[in-house]
Amino acid sequence: PNAVRVLRADEIQPFMAQVPLATLPQVGRAFAAKLDERQLVYCKDIWALQKFDLQQWFGTKGELLWALSRGEDAGDVLRPAERKTMSSDINFGVRLRDKQDSLKLVLEVSRQLSDRLIASALVASQVTLRLKIAVLGW
Question: With the C-alpha atoms ordered 101, 106, 110, 113, is the resulting torsion angle positive or negative?
Answer: positive
Contact 108, 90 (CB under 8 A): yes
Helix (H, G, I), strand (E, B) or coil at 91: coil
Phi/psi-derived region of residue 75, left when phi > 0, alpha when psi is between -120 and 50, beta in every other case: beta
Lowest average pLDDT, out of 23-32, 64-73, 90-99, 108-117, goes to: 90-99
Query: pLDDT tens digits, residue range 84-133?
Result: 777 777 666 667 778 888 888 888 888 888 888 888 888 888 887 777 76
